[in-house]
């Protein structure tokens, strides 16, 4: 009788390493989040250690004494590698590998690996590969033996590892090609934005910390069928859907990639065209996980990232999501927002009130139009329906009486076609 063998992928066991600069900082919270990232990437966290230092060691990230402690931990926990909570320089990477004789990774590499696994559209894959190559280009000398390392695990996913023995010439050639492809994507986005602008359809960008519930919100409002998963960066590629409100007004909702603390600059640069969807939006919908103890810090990171992208001066509605997970009602404030609401996207709580706020935002950019159109100008009514908010419509002897909110740029033209105007 034939003997069957069950083949299972070996799960990496990793130790998390961080540096704390002062008592009471967020190093522990950052390491907890790094643990979630590692699990999302498919690793098992078996240990964690923090060194208190005035600054990061320029050669080995942590001090030599701590390195020896980590080496012992690797043996004790049968770990296959470590993940540092900050981005490592090529020298730090090389030196740590030589001392520890194990796989050394940093926060950036883990995030890039998750993005490589999550990217599904051609644009997403281009952006991920671009970020991976930029990361590896600066570390060709520092990676040492890791470029020749065969096998699976974090850092080996995605198009970035098609050729193990990469050299600078090949990477730069590939980077140039990817930049051209991304430029074509950017131009396509600009054309799409131009079409939206001509259609006068307002756009709201959904932003927030990763796993705050952005995709769940979009699905509940528009039946977008975007993946919902209780993991960091469950969805990567942006999705835009049309939302029709009770008054007949329409607005486009665009889901963006989630933010995270210490978001690698390689990703910000590579995903700039995607992140700039928020820059060209008319409104910002900020989704916050109200059940997360770190919500204040997460809100700060979101606003800091928006500012770094030059996204300022827009109307913001903040949605304190996941109210169903709170044991009791809590007072949460966001002083950056024009409006705040408590919702539960999964349960559908507060979404009617949220739509009303969107109606108000749309109405603020419109002007009240009131009067009678002669019957030969009846073709103006569909225009009002499409771009404005028709409040009253009554057929009278001399024409069609209309009371509506219309875009400011259409007001004068429509007003001129009314009787007595």
Instruction: Please tell me the predicted confidence (pLDDT) of residue 68.
Output: 95
Distance, in Å, from the CA atom of 205 to the CA atom of 59, rounded to the nearest integer, reads 42
Burial of 78 (C-beta count, 10 Å sphere; 0-12/13-18/19+): exposed
pLDDT average per 10 residues of sequence, the chain (421 residues): 53 93 86 92 94 93 95 95 93 92 92 83 82 80 46 60 59 88 80 68 89 89 71 67 85 85 76 74 94 91 88 92 87 91 93 93 88 92 87 92 90 90 54
Cα atoms found within 13 Å of the Cα of residue 193, Cβ hemisphere only: 18
Distance, in Å, from the CA atom of 319 to the CA atom of 214, rounded to the nearest integer, reads 10
Instruction: Please tell me the predicted confidence (pLDDT) of residue 163.
Output: 47
Adjacency order of strands within the sheet including 250-255 = 239-244, 250-255, 202-208, 283-289, 315-321, 339-342
Beta bridge partners of 208: 287
Instruction: Please tell me the predicted confidence (pLDDT) of residue 198.
Output: 65
Adjacency order of strands within the sheet including 103-106 = 44-52, 13-20, 81-84, 103-106
Instruction: Please tell me the predicted confidence (pLDDT) of residue 104.
Output: 94
Instruction: Please tell me the predicted confidence (pLDDT) of residue 150.
Output: 46
282: left (phi over 0), alpha (psi -120 to 50) or beta: alpha
Instruction: Please tell me the predicted confidence (pLDDT) of residue 144.
Output: 46
Distance, in Å, from the CA atom of 377 to the CA atom of 383, rounded to the nearest integer, reads 11
Distance, in Å, from the CA atom of 3 to the CA atom of 5, rounded to the nearest integer, reads 7
């Amino acid at each position: 009788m034939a003997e069957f063998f069950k083949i299972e992928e070996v799960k990496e066991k990793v130790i998390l390493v961080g540096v704390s600069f002062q008592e009471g900082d967020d190093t522990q919270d950052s390491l907890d989040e790094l643990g979630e990232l590692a699990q999302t990437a498919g690793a098992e966290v078996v240990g964690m250690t923090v060194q208190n230092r005035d600054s990061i060691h320029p050669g080995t990230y942590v001090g030599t004494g701590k390195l020896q402690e980590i080496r012992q931990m690797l043996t004790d926990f049968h770990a296959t590698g470590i993940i540092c909570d900050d981005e490592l320089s090529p020298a730090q990477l090389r030196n740590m590998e030589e001392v520890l004789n194990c796989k050394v990774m940093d926060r950036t590499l883990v995030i890039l690996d998750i993005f490589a696994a999550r990217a599904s559209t051609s644009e997403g894959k281009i952006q991920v590969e671009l970020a991976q190559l930029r990361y590896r280009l600066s570390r060709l000398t520092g990676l040492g033996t890791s470029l020749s390392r065969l096998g699976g695990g974090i850092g080996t996913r995605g198009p970035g590892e098609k050729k193990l023995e990469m050299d600078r010439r090949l990477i730069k050639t590939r980077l140039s090609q990817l930049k051209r492809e991304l430029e074509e994507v950017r131009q396509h986005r600009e054309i799409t934005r131009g079409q939206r602008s001509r259609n006068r359809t307002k756009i709201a960008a959904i932003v927030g910390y990763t796993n705050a519930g952005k995709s769940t919100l979009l699905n509940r409002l528009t039946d977008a069928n975007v993946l919902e998963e209780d993991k960091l960066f469950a969805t990567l590629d942006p999705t835009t859907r049309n939302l029709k409100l009770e008054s007949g007004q329409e607005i486009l909702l665009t889901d963006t990639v989630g933010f995270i603390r210490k978001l690698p600059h390689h990703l910000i640069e590579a995903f700039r065209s995607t992140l700039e969807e928020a820059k060209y939006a008319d409104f910002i919908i900020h989704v916050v996980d109200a059940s997360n103890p770190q919500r204040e810090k997460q809100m700060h990171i979101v606003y800091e990232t928006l500012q770094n992208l030059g996204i300022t001066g827009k109307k913001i509605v903040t949605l304190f999501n996941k109210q169903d997970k709170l044991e009791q009602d809590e007072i949460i404030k966001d002083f950056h927002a024009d409006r705040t609401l408590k919702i539960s996207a999964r349960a559908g709580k507060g979404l009617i009130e949220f739509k009303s706020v969107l109606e108000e935002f749309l109405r603020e950019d419109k002007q009240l139009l009131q009067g009678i159109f002669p019957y030969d100008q009846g073709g103006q009514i569909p225009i009002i329906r499409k771009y404005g908010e028709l409040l009253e419509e009554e057929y009278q002897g001399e024409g069609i009486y209309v009371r509506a909110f219309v875009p400011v740029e259409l007001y004068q033209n429509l007003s001129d076609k009314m009787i007595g105007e």
